Amino acid sequence: MISREKLIELLEERSPARVRALLDTADRTRAYAVGESVHLRALIEISNVCRRNCLYCGLRAANRHLPRYRMADREIVEAVLSAAARGRRTVVLQSGEDSALTAPRVARMIRRIKDAADVAVTLSLGEYPRDDYFQMREAGADRYLLKHETVDPDLYKSLHPGMSFERRIRCLVWLKEAGFQAGSGMMVGLPGQSAATLADDIIFLRRLDADMAGIGPFIPHPHTPLKHSSPGGADLCLKAVALTRLALPFAHIPATTALATLCPNGTERALKAGADVIMPLATPEKYRRLYEIYPDRSPSSDSGPDSVIELVRRLGRTVSRDYGHTAPRLNLLAPFDISAYKRALQRCPL
Ligand code: 5AD
Ligand code: SF4
């Protein structure tokens, strides 16, 4: 593993030639470790209701400007079937922290999906008690995304009223214990974040042995307390993607929608800097503009002439036809000792 000092130095690197060398190294590492396949995960945003008040996010409960929706199970299954018909092998069900999405309800939804379609199911629904995660896993869900957002405890606290970083880590440990392929990740360019924090974020992902790692730039939303903050930088974000690939060669790393929103060729640049996943939007048309975590989202499309499939082909890569699970065999290279991690957690000063 690269040292913390080296991570900081590379995140701060300004020489175009050296940055290019870093991104190319990440690209070669990606090719060697996970190959030329790009996994398309169909993103279905099942509810924009959220009980939290994260300072950066347009879905925060205090944002009264946003009309709220929650998809019915029937609509979700329809969206899954239509994604499956387009060849997607994974659906990602994402939502705000919606108290109506109880574990039994989510479990029922997963069973309906698994009965109806041959797809892997990734959940991204926020924090739940331990038993709830087990219930969702037993119902057949395969993966779970829970971004840690930032490892800086003070920054975490100031951005997430009423939440705790320690609880976040616990949730990630529970997800691992429940047998999920677990993903985490962070935002780049949060106000108050430094290169050292970002280096610690990457080290955290490595310690967690994350199966997936999502890294996107912060984009200010006009109906949030951070409306006057500057957005994160695309170049810094790409360096963080590249370094995360070096830290976690076998992980699945998406070219995030936030990066594509920030710069027009963001998806292509991320795919050439270590990313191997794209998450095309499969939310029904009528709900799309309501899932406004940040403004002017530029989601990937998986049909039509501008589709990501064309992009993948142009880059000489292939669209994966399998589920795109993390191979357990490869995880042996970086064994995750859950009891050691829990012991470390007990010593955690947070
Ligand atoms: N800019 C960028 N990403 C954001 N997210 C939420 N708000 C923003 C924003 N303003 C990301 C967070 C969160 C997910 C729902 O979207 O990483 O995990
Ligand atoms: Fe809710 Fe997630 Fe947005 Fe926080 S980041 S307000 S938990 S949707």
pLDDT in tens, the chain (350 residues): 789 999 999 999 999 999 999 999 999 999 999 999 999 999 999 999 999 999 999 999 999 999 999 999 999 999 999 999 999 999 999 999 999 999 999 999 999 999 999 999 999 999 999 999 999 999 999 999 999 999 999 999 999 999 999 999 999 999 999 999 999 999 999 999 999 999 999 999 999 999 999 999 999 999 999 999 999 999 999 999 999 999 999 999 999 999 999 998 999 999 999 999 999 999 999 999 999 999 998 878 777 767 899 999 999 999 998 888 886 544 444 444 555 545 555 554 33
* Domain assignment of residue 331, yes or no: no
User: Which of 51, 54, 128 to probe ligand 2 with, by most ligand atoms within 8 A of CB?
Assistant: 54
- 95 Cα nearest atom in ligand 2: 8
Domain CATH for 282: 3.20.20.70
Q: Indicate which residue's Cα is closest to atom 8 of ligand 2.
A: 96
Residue 257 lies in a domain: yes
Rounded CA-CA distance 99/184 in Å is: 22
Residue 330, token pair as written in the block: 């490869």
Domain count, the chain: 1
254 in a domain, yes or no? yes
Cβ–Cβ under 8 Å, residues 70 and 49: yes
CB 214 near ligand 1, within 6 Å: no
pLDDT of the residue at 327:
62
10 Å Cβ neighbour count for 227?
Answer: 11
Whether 338 is covered by a domain: the verdict is no
CA dihedral 41, 149, 272, 293 (to 10 degrees): 60
pLDDT of residue 329: 41
| Structural domain harbouring 52 | 4-323
Residue bearing the CA closest to ligand 1, atom 13: 147
Give domain status of residue 343, yes or no: no
Top mutation candidate among 47, 48, 56, 60 for ligand 2, by most atoms within 8 Å of CB: 60
- CB 293 near ligand 1, within 6 Å: yes
- Residue nearest atom 6 of ligand 2, based on CA coordinates: 60
Ligand 1 probe mutation, 46, 47, 53, 56, most atoms within 8 A of CB:
56
Asked if the structure places residue 121 within a domain, the reply is yes
In a domain, 302, yes or no: yes
User: What per-residue confidence (pLDDT) applies to 2?
Assistant: 87
> Tokens in use for 234?
């695309």
pLDDT given for residue 20 in this prediction: 97
Both tokens of 80, joined, read 């899954």
Buried b (16+ CB within 10 A) or exposed e, 75-96: bbbebbeebbeeebbbbbbbbb
What atom in ligand 1 is closest to the CA of residue 56?
10
- Look at residue 349 and give its three-state secondary structure: coil
Pairing of strands 181-188, 143-145: parallel
Q: What is the DSSP letter of 149?
A: B
291 lines ligand 1 (CB under 6 A): no
Pocket of ligand 1 contains residue 56 by CB under 6 Å: yes
Residue 348 CA to residue 326 CA, distance in Å, equals 28
Residue 269 domain flag: yes
